[in-house]
């Protein structure tokens, strides 16, 4: 069996213990195949000239890291990936900036990275490319003569064709995507969107076995819903640090029920709508005001970008307003913490929370939803309130599914979660738990790699 070669914008940091989740899963995949290479951006931004790839060996895995210039970072990462692809893939065409120059830099970074990566490849290798930063990497590897298998996994949603085609260069991206042999999406919905796009805009034919014939190539597109390391999360929730953080929080909230939300501060996560819905629940239910506390953890991400600063300001104002309406000398209804916490602390908090509020406006999967389920006490599980627009909703159908734009509906479901009898909580949770432990992160990567081994170039 050949080596596994993983390409992702950011890699795990060589030599630094992994915190869990995806980083551990991909490193395990490399180890399981007896070694390989993890290729990506070093995280460093240089003033002018770039160096080649720097290699760091860790056991039988090589980390191959390349730097970006200032201009590349601005065009490829901030400009095209963050300001055009991210909003369009999350149905926010209104927030997208289509800058011709940024697309060119995006293309040139994919070209340069493709060249660097192709120099590391050996004939029997299998390549697995991750996410929207590298939509053109397959095409570049082919240009450099690589004929072996290339898989691609998209962590974010693939939007409906009507939205994807807003990207002025969508046809170039489509050609690039067709150079992968296997395209993995989070959900059936994303896969169907991609198929429909290829059929309606590029005359693709869908073969009997589901493969897609387009641009003279035959490719596979399938759903591979990403999972979480469910057993580890459960163990962390019951571990020393998990229990200690739950106890610390428990002392502060006293006998009030805890509702928890954990997100990156990003407009796709629906934070404003979520806080509004919680405020509405307090407006509508006087008796709840003394009985519940909402803890929202949302560390700022990509702070340099204006949109994120606006979001932060709006969130601060909204939380402040609700708190000034409903706080008392000894109570604060919403605790908003703008910082990240280690997984063991989060796991402990999840287990303490009577309801997990995961209400993105759009999300590829959303692993917080699965981590919340994994961390629950089987004898007294909390209730997951989940957006129907999170990829996770396809698997987690016994959560309380909500439309995050429907403030009154979310408010009613928060209340329903808090009042749900133990029997119903257990019943719903058992189905969810079965799904997150069976379809965990190891299941995800094995399924993808097995399919990639079968999807040799045709
Ligand atoms: P993200 O948008 O980052 O990832 P998500 O799946 O919610 O979204 O979280 C990824 C990881 O980050 C989880 O392990 C979670 O616990 C952690 N995390 C999130 N918020 C945190 C916080 N406030 N503090 C500490 N840790 C936090 C993208 C896609 C998702 C998809 C993942 C994986 O946008 O839809 O689920 O990739 O494919």
Nearest one of 251, 269, 344, 337 to 307, comparing CA atoms = 269
d(CA 7, CA 289): 49
Sheet holding 205-206, edge to edge: 54-58, 61-69, 36-46, 4-10, 126-130, 150-153, 182-185, 217-223, 212-214, 205-206
Query: Is the CB of residue 264 below 6 angstroms from any atom belonging to ligand 1?
Result: yes
Q: Are 14 and 63 in contact (CB under 8 A)?
A: yes
CA geometry: angle 209, 129, 218, nearest 5 deg: 25
Task: DSSP for 432-445, please give it.
Answer: HHHHHHHT-HHHHH
Is a pLDDT exceeding 60 seen at residue 458?
Answer: no
In the reported structure, the alpha carbon of residue 368 is separated from the centroid of ligand 1 by a whole-number distance in angstroms of 6
Instruction: Write out pLDDT tens, residues 375-430.
Output: 999 999 999 999 999 999 999 999 999 999 999 999 999 999 999 999 999 999 99
Given ligand 1 and candidates 368, 391, 394, which is best to mutate, with the most ligand atoms within 8 Å of its CB? Answer: 368
d(CA 233, CA 8): 24
Nearest one of 25, 13, 9, 123 to 63, comparing CA atoms = 13
Is a pLDDT exceeding 80 seen at residue 50?
Answer: no
Q: What does the pLDDT average to over 68-76?
A: 95
How many beta carbons lie within 10 A of that of residue 44, not counting itself? Answer: 13
The CA–CA distances, whole Å, from 263 to 7, 25, 220, 267 equal 25, 21, 32, 10
Query: Is the CB of residue 179 below 6 angstroms from any atom belonging to ligand 1?
Result: no
Q: What does the pLDDT average to over 75-97?
A: 96
Domains of the chain: 4-227+441-454 (3.40.50.2000), 230-438 (3.40.50.2000)
Residues 73, 90, 133, 155: which is the catalytic one?
A: 155
Is a pLDDT exceeding 60 seen at residue 99?
Answer: yes
Closest atom, ligand 1, to C-alpha of 358: 7
Residues 67, 125, 232, 363: which is the catalytic one?
A: 363
Q: pTM of the full predicted structure?
A: 0.96
In the reported structure, the alpha carbon of residue 168 is separated from the centroid of ligand 1 by a whole-number distance in angstroms of 29
State how beta strands 182-185 and 217-223 pair: parallel
Query: Is the CB of residue 341 below 6 angstroms from any atom belonging to ligand 1?
Result: yes
Confidence of residue 25 (pLDDT cuts 50, 70, 90): confident
How many beta carbons lie within 10 A of that of residue 456, not counting itself? Answer: 12
**pLDDT score, position 430:** 98
Structure tokens at 280: 């509405």
Given ligand 1 and candidates 156, 245, 264, 338, which is best to mutate, with the most ligand atoms within 8 Å of its CB? Answer: 264
In the reported structure, the alpha carbon of residue 386 is separated from the centroid of ligand 1 by a whole-number distance in angstroms of 15
Determine what percent of the chain is predicted with pLDDT higher than 70.
98
Query: Is the CB of residue 371 below 6 angstroms from any atom belonging to ligand 1?
Result: yes
* Nearest residue by C-alpha to atom 26 in ligand 1: 340
How many residues in total does the chain contain? 458
The CA–CA distances, whole Å, from 40 to 14, 37, 43, 67, 284 equal 12, 10, 9, 9, 50
How far out from the chain centre does Cα 182 lie?
Answer: 20
Residue 17 burial (CB < 10 Å; 0-12/13-18/19+)? exposed
Q: What does the pLDDT average to over 76-82?
A: 95
**pLDDT score, position 16:** 76
Query: Is the CB of residue 297 below 6 angstroms from any atom belonging to ligand 1?
Result: yes
The CA–CA distances, whole Å, from 281 to 33, 140, 307, 331, 409 equal 51, 52, 28, 16, 10
Query: Is the CB of residue 300 below 6 angstroms from any atom belonging to ligand 1?
Result: no
Q: Are 207 and 220 in contact (CB under 8 A)?
A: no
Query: Is the CB of residue 262 below 6 angstroms from any atom belonging to ligand 1?
Result: yes
**pLDDT score, position 33:** 86
d(CA 126, CA 133): 19
DSSP code for 160: -
Query: Is the CB of residue 358 below 6 angstroms from any atom belonging to ligand 1?
Result: no
In the reported structure, the alpha carbon of residue 339 is separated from the centroid of ligand 1 by a whole-number distance in angstroms of 14
* Nearest residue by C-alpha to atom 24 in ligand 1: 340
Instruction: Write out pLDDT tens, residues 347-371.
Output: 999 999 999 999 999 999 999 999 9
SS3 44: strand
More confident residue, 17 or 268: 268
Closest atom, ligand 1, to C-alpha of 228: 14
Does the active-site annotation cover 155?
A: yes
In the reported structure, the alpha carbon of residue 365 is separated from the centroid of ligand 1 by a whole-number distance in angstroms of 9
Positive or negative, the Cα torsion across 83, 85, 88, 92? negative
In the reported structure, the alpha carbon of residue 367 is separated from the centroid of ligand 1 by a whole-number distance in angstroms of 6
Is a pLDDT exceeding 90 seen at residue 243?
Answer: yes
In the reported structure, the alpha carbon of residue 457 is separated from the centroid of ligand 1 by a whole-number distance in angstroms of 32
**pLDDT score, position 231:** 96
Query: Is the CB of residue 369 below 6 angstroms from any atom belonging to ligand 1?
Result: no
Q: Are 194 and 235 in contact (CB under 8 A)?
A: no
Instruction: Write out pLDDT tens, residues 300-347.
Output: 876 556 777 889 999 999 999 999 999 988 889 999 999 889 999 999
In the reported structure, the alpha carbon of residue 264 is separated from the centroid of ligand 1 by a whole-number distance in angstroms of 7
How many beta carbons lie within 10 A of that of residue 71, not counting itself? Answer: 16
């Amino acid at each position: 069996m050949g080596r596994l070669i993983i390409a992702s914008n950011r890699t795990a940091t060589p030599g630094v213990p992994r915190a869990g989740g995806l980083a551990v899963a991909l490193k395990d995949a490399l180890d399981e195949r007896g070694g390989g290479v993890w290729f990506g951006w070093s995280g460093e931004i240089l003033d002018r000239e770039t160096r080649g790839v720097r290699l760091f060996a860790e056991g039988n895995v090589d980390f191959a890291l390349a730097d970006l210039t200032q201009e590349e970072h601005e065009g490829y990462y901030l400009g095209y990936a963050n300001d055009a692809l991210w909003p369009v893939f999350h149905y926010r065409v209104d927030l997208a900036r289509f800058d011709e120059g940024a697309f060119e830099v995006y293309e040139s970074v994919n070209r340069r990275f493709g060249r660097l990566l192709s120099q590391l490849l050996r004939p029997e290798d299998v390549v697995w490319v991750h996410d929207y930063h590298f939509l053109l990497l397959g095409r570049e590897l082919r240009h450099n003569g690589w004929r072996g298998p290339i898989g691609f996994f998209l962590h974010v949603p693939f939007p409906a064709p009507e939205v994807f085609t807003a990207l002025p260069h969508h046809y170039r991206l489509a050609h690039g995507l067709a150079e992968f042999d296997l395209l993995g999406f989070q959900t059936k919905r994303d896969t169907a969107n991609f198929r429909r796009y290829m059929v309606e805009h590029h005359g693709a034919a869908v073969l009997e076995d589901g493969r897609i014939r387009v641009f003279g190539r035959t490719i596979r597109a399938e759903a591979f819903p990403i999972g979480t390391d469910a057993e580890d999360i459960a163990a962390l929730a019951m571990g020393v640090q998990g229990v200690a953080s739950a106890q610390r929080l428990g002392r502060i909230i006293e006998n009030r029920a805890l509702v928890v939300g954990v997100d990156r501060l990003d407009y796709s996560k629906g934070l404003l709508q979520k806080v509004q819905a919680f405020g509405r629940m307090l407006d509508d239910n006087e008796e709840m005001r003394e009985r519940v506390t909402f803890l929202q953890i949302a560390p700022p991400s990509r702070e340099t970008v204006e949109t994120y600063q606006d979001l932060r300001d709006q969130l601060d104002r909204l939380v402040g307003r609700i708190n000034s309406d409903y706080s008392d000398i000894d109570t604060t209804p919403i605790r908003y913490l703008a910082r990240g916490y280690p997984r063991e602390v989060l796991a402990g908090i999840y287990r303490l929370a009577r309801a997990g509020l995961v209400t993105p406006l759009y999300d590829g999967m959303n692993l917080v939803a699965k981590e919340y389920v994994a961390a629950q006490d089987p004898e007294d599980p909390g209730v997951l309130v989940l957006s129907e627009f999170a990829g996770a909703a396809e698997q987690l159908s016994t959560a309380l599914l909500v439309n995050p734009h429907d403030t009154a509906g979310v408010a009613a479901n928060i209340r329903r979660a808090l009042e749900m009898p133990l029997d119903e909580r257990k019943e719903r949770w058992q189905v969810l738990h079965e799904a997150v432990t069976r379809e965990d992160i190891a299941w995800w990567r094995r399924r993808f790699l097995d399919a990639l081994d079968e999807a040799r170039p045709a």
